[in-house]
Amino acid sequence: MKYKDLINKMTLEEKASLMSGKDFWQTQDIERLGINNIFLADGPHGIRKQAEAADHLGLNASLPATCFPTAATVANSWNVELGEKIGKYLGEEAVAQKVNVLLGPGINMKRDPLCGRNFEYFSEDPYHAGKMAAGYIKGIQSHGISACVKHFAVNNQEERRMSIDTIVDERALREIYLTGFEIAVKEGKTKTVMSSYNMLNGTYTNENIHLMQEILRNEWEYDGVVVTDWGGSNDRVAGLIAGNELEMPTTAGETNLEIIQAIKNGEISEEVLDVCVDRLLDLIFSTEEVFSKPYKKDFDLEDHHRVAQEVAEESIVLLKNEGNILPLKTGVKVATIGEFAKEARYQGAGSSIVNPTKLDNTLDCLEETGFVNIGFEAGFERYGKKNQKKIDHACALAKKADVVLLYIGLDEATEAEGLDRQSMKIPENQIDLLNAVYEVNQNIIVILSSGAAVEMPWINKVKGLIHGYLSGQAGAKAILRVLTGEVNPSGKLAETYPIRYEDTPAYHQFPGKEVSVEYREGIFIGYRYYDTANVNVLFPFGYGLSYTSFEYSNMEVDKDGVSFQITNTGDMAGNEVAQLYVGCESTDIFRPSKELKGFVKVALNAGETKRVTISFDDKTFRYFNVKTNNWEIEEAEYKLMIGASSADIKLDDTLFVEGTGAPLPYEKDQLSSYYSGKVNTVDQDEFERLLERKVPVATWDRSQPLGYNDTIAQCEYAKGVFARFAYKVIVFAYWFLRKIGKRSTANIIMMSIYHMPFRGVARMTGGVINMPMLDGILMMVNGHFFKGLSHLLKERSKMMKFTKSQQITLDKATKEM
């Protein structure tokens, strides 16, 4: 251990105190030993350090910080170096605000397009997500502070995220859901990992020995800190045994006592605690070093804003350009229509909300363009309410224009942390607007704002489509520069856009509504499914247009990698993202038809040719063998494909690769869906054959009393009249708030109350309600109202007396020192 001498000077109580927060965002300090507290702050795409009242939902304003494009946006840049640059700027701002640990990036897989937090994640591909995340981490940690990669692991839905049991086979777990984290740990060298709320195959992730010890600590040799997601601790002692150092936020000492009692009872040895304390001390001292000497307490606001614009420009995706309507010519008359042109949709909602240092506005920036803006009309109500008058005004303006710039997309209340989307559609009132405008002017260019994939049955009615995703505080100007051609778009999609939601692989298994969610599609998510099962899509993974054209040629393959030439055959400088896909020609083990194994972004002037090399690495040919419980290589011919997208393969060749000689892990006739790749409708029997075990019952047992890990939503069938009444009040409040247009407030009810497990009431209230008091609440919920109320009041009184005595002891000790 690194700090053995210091740890030997600590009392058991002091060691235990370090294992949970001092308050909502800070760790505990031990003044007598020179151990400072450190500050953790949200920050996937900008620092969210709250100066006063703290919360985890983004309700209260934070200190001003640069709002960079979200991870889902930057992923479309396919530029790892750009990710590292963002990380450096995020790290600089974190240091200026004295933040030790920046809680990001988030790298969960986009298993399903409806996950409400997809805007905060990079990709449907683990290799792509891992490489982008490693760039961010290196940049952030170059300033001496820590990044915190999250949410570890298999956290792919928001509904019931704090209690859902994720049922996934070992191969899919390793190849799809952990590979990104593996890259973040091994290449990014993240100092902190955040465990997710959910269970994984029956055990909460922060208590999961297989995940936390066997894989993270032993296989990946991770020696950093694991912190719970806020309120994400279930059994504190089990978490400690698994190597979860830090529980956040504070529980006012309640779980510290659980650790102390477990050691005194012999349930765990004190050495287990010492190892966790040692790792946490290393994080504290290493990140405090930057603040022990003079450091910059401010940053160049304009420089950071310019970088936010640069990032947005490189991440914007051109999806359609019929008749080369773009870039717009100088002098063209445009009508600017759409609520999002006036009030931009530029970031997500929830814990990642950033208070921007400034915010570019489309209408203000139009004067800097070369085209003539003849006016603006909102055209639609932001949160979906129909308004024919607004449509009429928009159409009157559109008639007078050469081209219509139509700003549409998803609003803040539709995709947010804690909630999953209900459909892949954009609001109907926006489609009504588009249809009406099309009747009077068919030169429509849509500027789309959303953090995730949407259906586009209306796409044939638009000539141009620019997807800005959620492009941050400088996104408005970045989009205009793409429209005018000052910037040649080079973004490519990091997720597939299906034609309709029913085409998606997890359609029948998302989200898990009660006890569990089954990942029956296995390894076939995203393009792995569509390409293998031959399902047509609207836009494939890796797709994006340019104002110039590129030609691929002269592919060469050797044992170390592939090389080829790219030529810019157009008349404008541009950047091209070349992608390496690998497919195994053997059919002995089921595999996707192709998997991304490398990519590079190349800048080329008009007429220029460059030779590009993409090297193989340890992940190029591997698969996880469930019989050997190890990574293996199948001996076979492999098809190497260079593409402009997963569906646009420009060059290909084959290479024979020697294998590791592992036994075949599957019996082909037992897993026909997986060998065909057609996994949209896998039945339970076949999924259980893949798992090699029975799946748990996915529905609640309504005959049992409600417990710590049951949710407030389950009060619907509670035995206590009080609980059922409370449930109806919550449901009515949600309905009423949506009815009167308070959708954001309604959403907060769902994510902070409705889907909260009862243990969260204790874990998220900073000690105001402890677990013994929660026992009283559960008695009331389960039909013993007066007995429960008496228990609640009794335990409340005991807690207040204990807190008072602790304060007296502390004051006395302070005076003696």
Alpha-carbon distance of 224 to 188, in angstroms, equals 12
The conformation of residue 32, written as its DSSP 8-state character, comes to G
3-state SS of 499-553?
A: CCHHHCCCHHHCCCCCCEEECCCCCCCCHHHHHHHCCCEEECCCCCECCCCEEEE
User: Which tokens hold the place of 280?
Assistant: 């946490």
The conformation of residue 685, written as its DSSP 8-state character, comes to H
> Which contiguous run of DSSP H or E holds residue 786?
helix 785-816
Question: What single string gives the DSSP state of each residue in 123-141?
Answer: -S-HHHHHHHHHHHHHHHH
Q: What does each C-alpha distance from 451 to 305, 706, 766 come to in angstroms?
A: 21, 36, 32
Q: Which of 42, 169, 229, 503 is catalytic?
A: 229
Which residue is associated with the tokens 């304003």? 61
Amino acid at position 664, single letter: L
Burial class (CB within 10 angstroms; exposed 0-12, middle 13-18, buried 19+) of 809:
exposed
Phi then psi for 453, rounded to 5 degrees? -65, 145
The conformation of residue 461, written as its DSSP 8-state character, comes to G
Helical pair 428-440 and 388-399, crossing angle rounded to 10 deg: 30
Confirm whether 229 is a catalytic residue.
yes
Q: Are 206 and 244 in contact (CB under 8 A)?
A: yes
User: Which tokens hold the place of 425?
Assistant: 């559609």
* DSSP-based three-state secondary structure for 311: helix
Q: What does each C-alpha distance from 144 to 95, 578, 684 come to in angstroms?
A: 9, 33, 49
Cβ neighbour number for residue 363 with a 10 Å cutoff:
13
- In 3D space, the residue among 544, 528, 402, 394 whose CA is nearest the CA of residue 482 turns out to be 544
Alpha-carbon distance of 329 to 324, in angstroms, equals 11
Residue 567's region, left for phi above 0, alpha for psi from -120 to 50, else beta, is beta
Q: Are 536 and 513 in contact (CB under 8 A)?
A: no
Q: Are 139 and 86 in contact (CB under 8 A)?
A: yes
- In 3D space, the residue among 349, 425, 475, 372 whose CA is nearest the CA of residue 743 turns out to be 349
Phi then psi for 412, rounded to 5 degrees? -65, -30
**22 half-sphere exposure, CB direction, 13 A CA radius:** 14
User: Which tokens hold the place of 424?
Assistant: 């892949």
> Which contiguous run of DSSP H or E holds residue 746?
helix 743-749
Q: How would you classify the pairing of strands 192-195 and 146-152?
A: parallel
Phi then psi for 467, rounded to 5 degrees? -105, 110
Alpha-carbon distance of 22 to 40, in angstroms, equals 11
User: Which tokens hold the place of 333?
Assistant: 């008359």
Alpha-carbon distance of 394 to 438, in angstroms, equals 11
The conformation of residue 757, written as its DSSP 8-state character, comes to B
Alpha-carbon distance of 711 to 701, in angstroms, equals 13
- In 3D space, the residue among 233, 222, 401 whose CA is nearest the CA of residue 325 turns out to be 401
Q: What does each C-alpha distance from 375 to 240, 628, 707 come to in angstroms?
A: 61, 66, 59
Cβ neighbour number for residue 385 with a 10 Å cutoff:
11
The answer for residues whose C-beta is within 8 angstroms of residue 588's C-beta and 6 or more apart is 634, 636, 664, 668
Q: Which residues are catalytic?
A: 229
